[in-house]
Amino acid sequence: MRVMVMTKGDAADEGNGEPTTEMFEKMRVFNEQLVNAGIMLGGEGLQSSAAGAKVAFSTAGTTVVDGPFTESKEVIAGYWIWEVSSLAEAIEWAKRCPFDPSYGDSQILEIRPLFDMADFAQTVDADALAKSEQLLDPTSD
């Protein structure tokens, strides 16, 4: 199964200093373990939420909120895509991720299995499904 693993932290802790050489090295070792275990398929790091924005929908209307997302307790800082045999395996790997409290006391790794388009086949009309696949795909036309 393929999972997305998101690293999250408290917005209040965003920009708590640049990573130290030591922490950088620890993360490198962890990433190397993931690669050497054959489970790492990809990933990216995100800029601080100060560089982003939110578009919020509600019955009252649509609002745009500029970053940083100061009130948010779980701001995504980056993600990996792993190919694992089970959720339990992803959890065991996530537990090995280095943690440095100097960036903040609340750091979370959220693990979410990816949908395959086949998972929607039961509930969504085949035509709509085909159309949304076209839209999702960068190579279409």
Partner 1 sequence: MDLRKSVEALWRIEAPQLIATLARRIGSLDIAEDLASEAFVSALEQWPADGIPPKPGAWLMKTAWHKAIDRARREETARKKAPLLVAGHGGELADVADEALDPIPDDLLTMVFTTCHPLLSPESRVALTLRLFGGLTTDEVARAFLVPTATIGQRISRAKRTLAEARVPIEAPSAEELPERLRAVLDVLYAIFNEGYSASSGTNLVRADLAVEAMRMGRVLAGLSPTEPEVFGLVALMELQASRFRTRVDAAGIPARLEDQDRRRWDRTLIEHGLSMLDRAFDLARPLGVFSLQAAISACHARAATFAVTDWVAILALYDALTQITRSPVVELNRAVAVLHVDGPEAALATTRPLLADRRMAGYHLLGAVRGDILTRLGRHAEAAAELERAAELAPTKQERQLLLSRMAQALAPRNAGGQSSEEPPAE
Q: Which residues bind partner 1 (CB under 8 A)?
A: 2, 35-42, 81, 83, 85-89, 91-93, 116-118, 133-134, 137-140
Question: Which is nearer to partner 1, 65 or 121 (by Cβ)?
Answer: 121
Q: What's the min distance (Å) between Cβ of 10 and partner 1?
A: 24
In the chain, how many H helices and how many E strands?
Answer: 3, 6
Rounded to a whole number of angstroms, the minimum distance from the CB of residue 49 to partner 1 is 25
Give residue for tokens 């085909």: 130
Compare residues 69 and 82 and give the one whose CB is closer to partner 1: 82
- H or E stretch including 70? none
Name which of 87 and 128 has its Cβ closer to partner 1.
Answer: 87
Residue closer to partner 1, measured from CB, 5 or 75? 5
Cα atoms found within 13 Å of the Cα of residue 13, Cβ hemisphere only: 18
Chain-centroid distance, C-alpha 135: 22
Residue 122 C-beta: closest distance to partner 1, Å: 14
Reading the block at residue 72, the tokens are 């948010």
Amino acid identity at 133:
E
